[in-house]
Structure 1
Amino acid sequence: MKTTATRPKIMVTGDGRGVVGHAGARLLADLADATGLTSAFSQALAGLRQRQRGHDPGRIAVDLAVMLADGGEAIADLAVLRDQAALFGPVASDPTAWRLLSQLDATMLAELRAARADAREIAWAQHAEVCGDLPQPTVAGQQVDGLVLDIDATIVICHSGKESATRTWKKTFGFHPLLCFLDNTGEALAGLLREGRAGSNTTTDHITVLDQALAQIPDTVRHGTPILLRADSAGSSHGFLAHIRSLREHHLDIRFSVGAAITESVRAAIRAATGWVPAVDTGGDLREHAEVCEITSLFDPAGWPEGTRFLVRRERPHPGAQLSLFDTIEGWRHQIVATDTPPGNGSIQHLEARHRAHARVEDRIRTGKNTGFGRFPSRVFAINQAWLQLALTGIDLLAWTRTLLLDGDLATAEPKKLRYRLLHVAARITRTARRTRLAIAANWPWTDALTSAFSKLTALPRPTS
């Protein structure tokens, strides 16, 4: 059968001048400057600078974060920035970047976290001045006031021997980092790299990650703003919940919503429960064959913080659902939510749906693995710890780009869409009258969105000191 060519014939040459790729990634680099992230990193790492004319360590760290946000997976991917000096300026060599990562000890990482917090405060202030309040999560058609923090762990598989990479509870091999994301904006507030065999419900690790996440929230917001901490059953250890309760003694309005284990006393309470009401999904619609009931008064919650309420959700199991013997006998699949949100602050249907929205953190982790922490570059655990912090920085840059500079569907787009439509676009760079001009193709469907983002970036208020 004869075919008809539908693509125009082309002749490929390598003599193009003034053409650059990944032009949209310059937006991330400039946003790092506009939020004070670059200068904060430079101050934090000033002690590592070995010679006056050498690369600024803070700038190297920012370039690595930009590279990861742009989709890079290894230090060698810095070549995309380094080989386009007309667009990105001087970028450190791979050995220089490796040397920086090897110098980032625990003290330096703490300094970087503080620098990220300073930049976040500026970014949030810019958002308040230009766009208003931070976005509020919506669940079941209702707004969740304040800040919503989601803590969850994930397994990062390693295919070669790396320090502290061990067998995991899923019988794989690698690391088991614990992470905290802000549901309002998708920012990565904190992360702790752990060996693969680290426990899922380790109290000390959860406390560490939560404290680091809270330190990322500006003081003016942290005090006086309602904060909801969500976690699955791994975050239901009594020591962790007691720590959350203790934070309220330091004038933090923080509450928890966590999964809970179904013990024998809980099973008896479920059997005795009455007053079941239809469950709703996260969109607010009634969920067929699903019901919710509060069982707080039906068993003794020994060890739980005073005021903890227990909600049970039951639904007919879908094909392939993993059921306990209790579920199999009862014919329902059960899940328990423990929360210290007091009565009068939403129906039990809303509180249960609010907790189920914790599943959004799985999307944050999935996209985060494509933004740096899905592959660790070194056999040295300390270097991989530093890599994780820079990956979290890259995730923040993408989040700030969405909230400060983009509109419409791009303001909620996942990193892959942003890269495909904005960050990886090609452009022509020219210099006239002492000005550098970056010209994006007029017929590119998202040219207006990208040029508008650069214009908004230019108009952002800058810190005065």
Structure 2
Amino acid sequence: MSKNTGVFPSVAVALTGQSLVSHAGLNVLTSFVDALGFRGLCEDRLGQFVPSGARHRPGSLLGSLGVMLAAGGEHATDLDILRSSPGLFGPVPSNATVSRFFERTVANPELFSHGYETLTRELRARAWDAAGNRNPAARATAADPSVLDLDATLVTSHSDKENAAGTYKGGYGFAPFIASVDYGTSNGTGEILACLLRPGSAGANSADDHIRVFDAAVSQLPEAFFPQGRLDGQRLLVRTDSAGASRKFLWHLHAAGAQFSVSYPVPAGKAHMVDWINDKQYWQPALDQHGADRTDAWVINATEVIPLKDYPPGTNIYLRAEPLHPGAQPTLLDLDGHRITAFLTNAPRWHGPFLDARHRARGRCENRIKTLKNTGLGKLPFYDFAANQAWADIAALACNLVSWLQLTALPDGHQARTWDIKRWRYRLFATAGKIITRARRRQLLLPESAPEKGLLKLLLENTRRLKQLQPAAPG
């Protein structure tokens, strides 16, 4: 008698006609999509991109693509994962149907952009309203505004595509500009407001592009930010790296009434003005993200020492002095073993350590960009620029569906509110199941041993409550 000496059990494999579902955990996401009234909204906003007698409507097309990308798919052909389980995901559009849909977006890119933007704005309003006291619009005040992060990134193209160009890093592809909203360290990961595709040669410090992505992001905010039809800019804080420190962009934010916090490169000619770093009596200890003092890190309002010219009124410059990070290369501008960095802000608050900690939290936007690339932006599949812009929009939708699910269906303090997309996929979405018919009703059976069975039940219960609260969608 032979014994198995392998690492894993040796099991015979056979095919079956039973209704097995490899990604049954996606039921929480498909239920959430329906609870938002997705089908009716898509029909109302994007119905013109599908022939009137077509079997697959816009809600089916965008919903299937969004769920597939959230589950880890990268190409339209990955819809096969959903297509293999019609009992759970319904009739899924064919690859040819998806291709024809994107061809229509190329023929009318402005019309598609307008329809998509109004669609996602309404979806966001419904999700935020369902979040109750966690609603980012309801929580935003002048003293504690909602934070909009603006940042550019690079997407590599391995073949020739329309408007693909060489990048400053020596690659080839695109340089999308992304605006996202930060929920805060204890409220979730945040979501994407706008993703504007640009050629790879586009500059990161273009004031016009900053203005364009800011305006696109503002147009996505719910009506709560527009009392009497005008933007209540004081409840918004725009946060960028030093590429956003141009006067033209900051004056645009000032005209909109918005607050800003932007990194600022200290000119070498003014470095001598901060040589008083050795005297710490003028500085305040810097804070970490939990409000505790950082070791040997300091902050000061240096507006009187480094005067600013031609910037919006109320703009202040804050300096941060901190020890060099491991591996950092010293420069002639480093003083007393400290690296000096700066940021500009017009915030009404004056506590430098708080403003500095809030500005350093800008690094959270890198995680949102990473998630966006993992939900479709990392591989733009088409040649036409307009089709790739539409694909980027759907990638943002896929990213936001998970963020909205976290925001609306999870209670305060739940650990899954801070999970990234890969953890959602591995712990929840990849849960397998089986569809059966009992008492003339279809049921989805999930394993009792599933590691996140409690989370599955919680999400499904809260999603059912959300569906009952939502108004009937048009169409």
Tell me whether the two structures share a fold, i.e. TM-score over 0.5.
Answer: yes
Residue identity opposite 1:463 in structure 2: P
Tell me, yes or no, if structure 1 residue 376 matches structure 2 residue 385. Answer: no
Mapping for residues 125-140 of structure 1, pairs under 5 Å: 125-128=129-132, 132-134=134-136
Residue identity opposite 2:471 in structure 1: P
Is the contact between residue 244 and residue 255 of structure 1 (CA under 8 Å) also seen in structure 2? yes
Give a deviation string over 1:216-250, Cα, whole Å, max 9, x none.
111114545721111101111111111111112xx
Q: CA deviation at 1:366?
A: 1.3
Q: What is the distance in 1 between the residues matched to 2:129 and 2:255? A: 29
Is the contact between residue 211 and residue 249 of structure 2 (CA under 8 Å) also seen in structure 1? yes
Residue identity opposite 1:291 in structure 2: W
Mapping for residues 56-455 of structure 1, pairs under 5 Å: 56-104=57-105, 105-128=109-132, 132-134=134-136, 145-184=144-183, 185=188, 186-223=190-227, 226-248=235-257, 254-264=258-268, 266-272=270-276, 275-327=282-334, 331-342=337-348, 345-407=349-411, 408-455=414-461
Tell me, yes or no, if structure 1 residue 463 matches structure 2 residue 456. Answer: no
Q: 1:320 to 1:452 in 2, by over 3 A?
A: same
Give a deviation string over 1:55-91, Cα, whole Å, max 9, x none.
1123202211111111111111111112211111111
Match of 1:251 in 2: none
Q: CA deviation at 1:346?
A: 4.7
Q: What is the distance in 2 between the residues matched to 1:367 and 1:429? A: 31
Q: What is the distance in 2 between the residues matched to 1:416 and 1:324? A: 39
Is the contact between residue 136 and residue 147 of structure 1 (CA under 8 Å) also seen in structure 2? no
Q: Name the stretch that deviates more: 43-52 or 117-126.
A: 43-52
Match of 2:37 in 1: 36
Match of 1:397, SS state, is helix
Match of 1:298, SS state, is coil
Is the contact between residue 4 and residue 10 of structure 2 (CA under 8 Å) also seen in structure 1? no
Give a deviation string over 1:314-342, Cα, whole Å, max 9, x none.
12212321454323x66431211100013
Residue identity opposite 1:420 in structure 2: Y
Is the contact between residue 36 and residue 122 of structure 1 (CA under 8 Å) also seen in structure 2? no
Q: CA deviation at 1:3?
A: 9.1
Match of 1:45, SS state, is helix
Q: Please list every run of at least 4 consecutive aligned residues from structure 1 whose deviation after the TM superposition is greater than 3 angstroms.
A: 2-9, 131-138, 221-225, 322-325
TM-score (norm 1): 0.91
Tell me, yes or no, if structure 1 residue 22 matches structure 2 residue 26. Answer: no
Q: CA deviation at 1:145?
A: 2.2
Q: What is the distance in 2 between the residues matched to 1:314 and 1:418? A: 38
Q: What is the distance in 1 between the residues matched to 2:275 and 2:138? A: 37
Q: Name the stretch that deviates more: 188-197 or 169-178.
A: 169-178
Residue identity opposite 1:227 in structure 2: L
Q: CA deviation at 1:24?
A: 1.9
Q: CA deviation at 1:168?
A: 0.9
Residue identity opposite 2:440 in structure 1: R
Residue identity opposite 1:49 in structure 2: V
Is the contact between residue 69 and residue 394 of structure 1 (CA under 8 Å) also seen in structure 2? yes
Ranked by relative contact order (alpha carbons within 8 Å, sequence separation 6 or more), the top structure is: 2
Q: Name the stretch that deviates more: 414-423 or 403-412.
A: 403-412
Match of 2:272, SS state, is helix
Is the contact between residue 137 and residue 225 of structure 2 (CA under 8 Å) also seen in structure 1? no
> What is the Cα-based RMSD across aligned positions, in Å?
2.3
Number of corresponding residues:
450
Is the contact between residue 265 and residue 299 of structure 1 (CA under 8 Å) also seen in structure 2? no
Match of 2:24, SS state, is coil
Match of 1:10 in 2: 11
Q: 1:266 to 1:33 in 2, by over 3 A?
A: farther
Match of 2:333, SS state, is helix
Is the contact between residue 148 and residue 179 of structure 2 (CA under 8 Å) also seen in structure 1? yes
Q: CA deviation at 1:432?
A: 2.5
Q: CA deviation at 1:50?
A: 1.5
Q: CA deviation at 1:268?
A: 3.4
Residue identity opposite 2:104 in structure 1: Q
Residue identity opposite 1:411 in structure 2: R
Q: What is the distance in 2 between the residues matched to 1:160 and 1:53? A: 33
Match of 2:238, SS state, is strand
Is the contact between residue 137 and residue 144 of structure 1 (CA under 8 Å) also seen in structure 2? no
Q: What is the distance in 2 between the residues matched to 1:282 and 1:266? A: 30
Q: What is the distance in 2 between the residues matched to 1:450 and 1:8? A: 29
Q: What is the distance in 2 between the residues matched to 1:13 and 1:137? A: 55
Q: CA deviation at 1:452?
A: 2.1
Residue identity opposite 1:217 in structure 2: L
Q: CA deviation at 1:309?
A: 0.6
Q: CA deviation at 1:284?
A: 2.3
Q: CA deviation at 1:464?
A: 4.3
Give a deviation string over 1:262-296, Cα, whole Å, max 9, x none.
11454233235661222222232322232212110
Q: What is the distance in 1 between the residues matched to 2:135 and 2:333? A: 46
Match of 2:253, SS state, is helix
Give a deviation string over 1:68-119, Cα, whole Å, max 9, x none.
1111111111111122111111111111111112222122112101110011
Q: What percent identity do the matched residue pairs reach?
A: 35
Q: CA deviation at 1:31?
A: 1.6
Q: What is the distance in 2 between the residues matched to 1:377 and 1:111? A: 22
Residue identity opposite 2:459 in structure 1: A
